[in-house]
Amino acid sequence: MQPPHRTGRPISRELRPGTPLDYERLSDPILVRRAKDGDRRALDALCRRHAPRVERLARHLLADSEDARDAAQDALARLCTKIGQFRGEAALATWLHRLTVNACRDVAQRKVARRCEPLVEDSRVAAAGDGDPAGAAALSELRSELRAELDRLPAAQARVVVLKDALGYSFPEISAASGMPVGTAKCYAHRARACLRERLDDGAGAVA
C-alpha cells in the first residue's frame, strides 16, 4: 500500500530573489571564501568585524596610543593583502592575532632603532663639557664603566635593561619588540639591575 500523497506548498530555500546580501550576518568562513574570490565587500566586512579586537590587542602590547594605532592599521592591511594565504587550519581570529602581534613587533623595533640613534646621554655629555669639564669627564667615565658591565651581562638581560632604563620603554613594548613574554622581560630587568648594582658598588668600594 502506497502512503497517501501529501500536497502542499514547496519550501523555498531563498527568502526573496534579488534580496541584497547582508555581509554583516555572514560567517567568517563564508566571508573568507568570498574575499579570496575577489569580493571586496566581503573583505571590508571582515576588517570591520575584527578591527575592534585588533585595536584592543595593539593597545595592550604597545603603550603609545599612536604606535598602537599604526600597528592595528598595519595588521588590517596585512589581512587584506595576505587573505589568499589563509588556509583555514585555525580560526581567522587566531591567524589575525598572529598578524597583529607581528605588526606590533615591527612598530616597536622601528621605534627602538630610531631612539637608539643617538642615545640621549651623548648630547648630555657634550653639553656638560662646555661648562664643566670635570663633570663631563666623570660622566664619560661612568658611561664607559656601565657599558663595560653591560657587555658582561647575558645579551637578553642587557637589551631589556637598556630598553627599560635608558630608553624608557614599558614592559609590554619590550615584549612586542623582542618577542619575549612580559614576565620574562621583568625578570631579566630585575636580574640585570641587581647585577649592575653589585658590580658598580664593588668597583666604587675598590676605588675608595
pLDDT interval class at 13 (50, 70, 90)? very low
Contacts 24+ apart (CB under 8 A), 67-76: 67/107, 67/108, 67/111, 67/173, 68/104, 70/107, 71/100, 71/103, 71/104, 71/106, 71/107, 72/100, 72/103, 74/103, 74/106, 74/107, 75/99, 75/100, 75/102, 75/103, 75/104, 76/47, 76/50, 76/51
CA dihedral in degrees (192, 197, 203, 208; nearest 10)?
180
- Cα 202 to its chain centre, rounded Å, is 38
Coil/strand/helix, residue 117 = coil
* Percentage with pLDDT > 90 across the chain: 29
Q: Identify the pLDDT of residue 99.
A: 92
Whether residue 86 contacts residue 95, with contact meaning beta carbons closer than 8 Å, is answered with: yes
Name the residue ranges covered by the structural domains of the chain: 23-115, 131-207
Q: Is the pLDDT of residue 186 over 50?
A: yes
CATH architecture type of domain 23-115: Orthogonal Bundle (1.10)
- In this structure, what C-alpha cell is assigned to residue 80? 587584506
How is domain 131-207 classified at the CATH fold level? Arc Repressor Mutant, subunit A (1.10.10)
Q: Identify the pLDDT of residue 11.
A: 38
- In this structure, what C-alpha cell is assigned to residue 70? 599604526
Asked if 23-115 and 131-207 have one fold, the answer is no
Distance from C-alpha of 62 to C-alpha of 109, rounded to nearest angstrom: 11
In terms of pTM, does the model score above 0.75? no
Identify which of 148, 172, 143 has the alpha carbon closest to the alpha carbon of residue 160: 172
